[in-house]
Structures are given as C-alpha cells and as structure tokens.
C-alpha cells in the first residue's frame, strides 16, 4: 500500500527523537501502538527536565534570589507554551495532575457551590432536579465525577446515546438537553472508537440553555490542531503524558468567565491575597486553583515536548496519523472474525482502531502481538458502559503516534490476521 502523506513526512527523523524505539521488546523491534494510553517520550524533553532539575530548580514565585527568578520565568514560559498549543492565553491554563484531576476539579467546583457557601458562583450551583448531560462515549474519567456530583446534589445524570457505529450525533445530545441542563460534559475523541465528535454544534446547543460545557480533549490534543477559544467550550482537560510529555501533569483550560465564576476547590498557600482566622481572599485564576508548590520539572518537560511537536508541524503530524489510521482501518476491516468498534464512513477519525476478535480474549490477542514486539492496549479502556453498549466486554486497541510507520501498521495487521488460527479459531 502506498501512502503519499508519509513520503512527505520525516518519519525516520521523528523516530530518532524517541529513545524507547531503539530498545527491542521480546527480541523484536518495538512497534508501539499504545499512544492512546500514554505516549513515548522525546529524549530532548527528558534531558530538558533533567537539566532544569540539575541546574535551575528553585521554588517559583516570590523568591528573592536569582535562581527563583529564573525558575519562575521558565515556569511561566511553560504555561504560555501549553496555552499557545491549544489556542489559549496563559491565564486560561490551570496546572493539574492529569485530565482526570481537571474534570474532578470542575465537578468539585459545582459541589462546593452547591453547598451554598459562596456568593459569586450562580451557574455552578446545582439544585435537586437540575441535569448533567454526558454521553455513552465517555471514558470513566468523564462519567464518574458527574455521577458522584449528581448523587451528592440531587441532580439527574442524563446520557446521550451513540449509534450502533459509535457515532454521537447532535440530535442525540439534543434529545437529553432541557432547560434544566446545567452541565454538558463530553469527549472530543473517543478513546475506544477514535471518532471525533461535533464539538462546536454540541457546545452551541448546550449554551442555548445556559449550560456549562466541559470538553475531554485527552485524545484530541495530541493528534488534532486545537483552538479551544474558537471551539467555544467553557472548560477542557488534557494530559501531558499522552502528548509525548511527562506523567504527573495536565491542564484544565477555562474561559475567562468560567474560571472567574468557578470557586476554588483546593486550599492552601500561594493562592491568596489576604488571610485571617475567619476567611481568606483569593488571587484571580489560574492562581486561585493552584495552591502549594507546583509541578515544576514536569511543566518544563511538557513545554519542551510541545515545542518539538510544533517545530515538526501540527498539521503534518495530524495528516500523517490520519493516513495511518485510515490504512489501519482498511487493512483490519476485511479480516475474517475481527470486528472493528466504531464506524469509518461519515465521521472524522484519529489513528485509533479497537477490535473484538471472535473466540479470542483480548488479553490473548495482546500477548500474541506482544510476542512479536507489538504493544497494544487490551481491556475495556476505562469505558465499560461504551463496550456494553457495543455488545462486547472488552477489546484490543491499536493507536498510532507521530512516530508510527506504514510498515509497522502492515506488520501489526499481518500478525493480527494470524491470531485466530493460532488460538484454533480459524
Ligand atoms: C478520553 C480520555 N479521557 C480521560 C482520560 C484520563 O486521562 P488521565 O489518566 O491522563 O487523567 C483518558 C486516558 O486514557 C482518555 O483517553
């Protein structure tokens, strides 16, 4: 199979940036098809983290010494880099541990407001019978925090259905949106299906009833050039470790008004302007959401990773991955006894395909692939309800990264095509 996009994309140079690709697995070259779980890391990014920790580390903000000033400057630059990468301003980016943390922060904003103790948080206050909308395509990270919030406040969780092909239509969301809807939380790209959801249309619908929109951008931020301000969502979350950056850091994006309205949810030092024994007054966002000493080396490492992606070119990476994803789908589709979860036609997709193999458990599929050096994800990928909806317990997921080659895809599909025979099912 020829792939014109790949010819123009410097995939071999890109591969040279990832030290892990040089380390064989089970005596075979590593074919890493698990980027949707966590990505490989750039050697340059790891070295930048180490350099910062070795030579420049100091507690940021308010330090009176040179190192503190320099560290603060680098840390502020890192926030600006993350912001630029998603079409935001630095003041719109709150550091978090990961995407899960960001969603929980917003849900906790609602929880704290709904206790009725803060005065300036009208839209964050839920009353009994108010409604929270999620979709059948959600990762547990964008389901359970809302489920718990509903339980605590008496709000009702409403779930927008996907089609049998896993497609989320605007009409399906409209069917569960009402004038009681206060939150619409949904994923930009499903981590099981790879299907890209219609963000602007769903956001406009949610805003027409005054609801706050929370976008899970975990699987889009690494693969699709993003402009969150243009998408118009109120909040969005994403994680560095899926974007070739470190674990332990992510971001909560919030529009100015959304961050101003949301009450702080974690409390302590570095977030206040005044404290006495009765009360505290808080700094504006993002500081009001960031008590304590922040994740310094991780922020530096993340910014370094994003700079490399930007230098290679977001559009070029997206085109490369899309072509590979399409090739992956087309090569897997004809395999007998292998069912792909999620439609291909009439939807936009990222480079991710999950399959159910007749008669073979995903763990066996994964081990068979692993024996040939191919790393994939098996299980329900933190999306049990979605798997149930699609009529399976679990699946095997192959997801591409910016370093993936067409030869790797062809090899992986070739190995996959032998799985049923190996386990006596064909
Ligand atoms: C769609 C989606 N949402 C949320 C998450 C949670 O991300 P994290 O574990 O980085 O918080 C993931 C990670 O797998 C994901 O794929």
Q: Which band of pLDDT confidence, cut at 50, 70 and 90, is reported for residue 60? A: confident
Active site residues: 382
Residue to substitute in 97, 103, 191, 298 for testing ligand 1 pocket (most ligand atoms within 8 angstroms of CB): 191
Q: For residue 313, give the nearest of 93, 85, 31, 2 by alpha carbon.
A: 85
Q: For residue 217, give the nearest of 204, 233, 206, 230 by alpha carbon.
A: 233
Q: Say what the pLDDT of residue 345 is.
A: 86
**For the CA of 141, the nearest atom of ligand 1:** 4
The predicted-structure confidence for 40-52, as pLDDT tens digits, reads as follows 999 999 999 999 9
Going by the DSSP 8-state scheme, the letter that residue 53 receives in this structure is: I
Residue 139 alpha carbon to ligand 1 centre in Å:
7
The token duo for 274 is 């005044």
The secondary structure of 91-132 as a DSSP string is: GGEEEESSHHHHHHHHHHHHHHHHTT--SS-GGG---TT-EE
pLDDT above 70: percentage of residues in the chain: 97
**For the CA of 97, the nearest atom of ligand 1:** 11
Q: Say what the pLDDT of residue 272 is.
A: 93
Question: Do 314 and 291 touch, CB atoms closer than 8 A?
Answer: no
Q: For residue 400, give the nearest of 368, 371, 367, 376 by alpha carbon.
A: 376
Rounded Cα distance between 154 and 150, Å, is: 6
The predicted-structure confidence for 167-226, as pLDDT tens digits, reads as follows 999 999 999 999 999 999 999 999 999 999 999 999 999 999 999 999 999 999 999 999
How, if at all, do strands 395-399 and 377-379 pair? antiparallel
Going by alpha carbons, the residue nearest to atom 14 of ligand 1 is 37
Q: Does 232 have pLDDT greater than 90?
A: yes
What are the structural domains of the chain? 4-41+313-421 (3.90.1150.10), 48-309 (3.40.640.10)
Q: Say what the pLDDT of residue 57 is.
A: 83
Going by the DSSP 8-state scheme, the letter that residue 141 receives in this structure is: G
Rounded Cα distance between 356 and 338, Å, is: 6
The predicted-structure confidence for 234-281, as pLDDT tens digits, reads as follows 999 999 999 999 999 999 999 999 999 999 999 999 999 999 999 999
The token duo for 92 is 């719109």
Residue with tokens 């979860």: 341
C-alpha atoms less than 13 angstroms from C-alpha of 64 in its C-beta half-sphere: 0
Residue to substitute in 102, 139, 395 for testing ligand 1 pocket (most ligand atoms within 8 angstroms of CB): 139
- 3-class DSSP assignment, residue 348: coil
Rounded Cα distance between 349 and 383, Å, is: 18
The token duo for 219 is 């699987």
Q: Does 385 have pLDDT greater than 90?
A: yes
For ligand 1, residues with CB inside 6 Å are 98-100, 139, 141-142, 187, 191, 216, 218-219, 239, 250, 382
**For the CA of 99, the nearest atom of ligand 1:** 11
pTM, to two decimals = 0.96
Residue to substitute in 238, 239, 243 for testing ligand 1 pocket (most ligand atoms within 8 angstroms of CB): 239
**For the CA of 100, the nearest atom of ligand 1:** 11
Q: Does 3 have pLDDT greater than 90?
A: no
Residue 278 alpha carbon to ligand 1 centre in Å:
38
Please give the order of strands across the beta sheet that includes 395-399: 338-340, 352-357, 395-399, 377-379
Q: Which band of pLDDT confidence, cut at 50, 70 and 90, is reported for residue 128? A: very high
Question: Do 378 and 365 touch, CB atoms closer than 8 A?
Answer: yes
Task: Give me the residues paired with residue 252 across strands.
Answer: 94, 237
């Amino acid at each position: 199979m020829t792939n014109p996009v790949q010819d123009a994309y410097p995939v071999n140079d890109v591969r040279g940036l990832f030290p892990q690709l040089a380390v064989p697995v089970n005596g075979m070259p590593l074919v890493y098809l698990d980027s949707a779980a966590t990505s490989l890391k750039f050697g340059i990014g790891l070295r930048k983290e180490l350099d910062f920790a070795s030579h420049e580390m100091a507690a940021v903000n308010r330090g009176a010494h040179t190192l503190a000033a320099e560290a603060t400057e680098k840390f502020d630059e890192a926030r600006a880099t993350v912001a630029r990468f998603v079409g935001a301003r630095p003041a719109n980016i709150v550091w978090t541990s990961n995407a899960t943390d960001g969603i929980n922060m917003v849900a906790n904003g609602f929880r704290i407001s709904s206790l009725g103790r803060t005065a300036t948080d009208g839209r964050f206050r839920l009353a009994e019978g108010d409604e929270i909308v999620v979709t059948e395509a959600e990762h547990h990270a964008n389901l359970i925090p809302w489920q718990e919030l509903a339980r605590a406040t008496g709000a009702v969780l409403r779930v927008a259905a996907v089609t049998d092909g896993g497609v989320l239509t605007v009409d399906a969301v409209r069917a569960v949106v009402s004038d009681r809807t206060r939150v619409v939380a949904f994923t930009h790209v499903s981590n099981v299906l790879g299907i890209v959801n219609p963000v602007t249309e769903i956001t406009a619908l949610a805003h027409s009833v005054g609801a706050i929109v929370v976008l899970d951008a975990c699987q889009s931020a690494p693969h699709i050039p993003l402009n969150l301000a243009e998408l118009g969502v109120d909040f969005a979350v994403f994680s560095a470790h899926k974007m070739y950056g470190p674990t332990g850091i992510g971001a909560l994006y919030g529009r100015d008004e959304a961050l101003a309205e949301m009450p702080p949810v974690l409390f302590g030092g570095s977030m206040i302007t005044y404290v006495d024994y009765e009360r505290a007054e808080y700094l504006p966002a993002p500081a009001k959401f960031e008590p304590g000493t922040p994740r310094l080396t991780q922020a530096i490492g993340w910014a370094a990773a994003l700079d490399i992606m930007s230098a290679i070119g977001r559009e070029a990476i997206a085109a490369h991955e899309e072509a590979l994803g399409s090739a992956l789908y087309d090569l897997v589709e004809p395999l007998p006894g292998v069912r792909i979860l999620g439609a291909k036609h009439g939807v936009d997709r990222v480079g991710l395909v999950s399959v159910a193999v007749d008669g073979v458990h995903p763990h066996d599929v994964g081990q068979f692939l692993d024996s040939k050096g191919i790393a994939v994800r098996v299980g329900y990928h933190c999306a049990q309800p979605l798997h149930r909806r699609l009529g399976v317990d679990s699946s095997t997921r192959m997801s591409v990264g910016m370093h993936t080659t067409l030869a790797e895809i062809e090899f992986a599909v070739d190995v996959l095509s032998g799985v049923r025979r190996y386990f006596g099912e064909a």
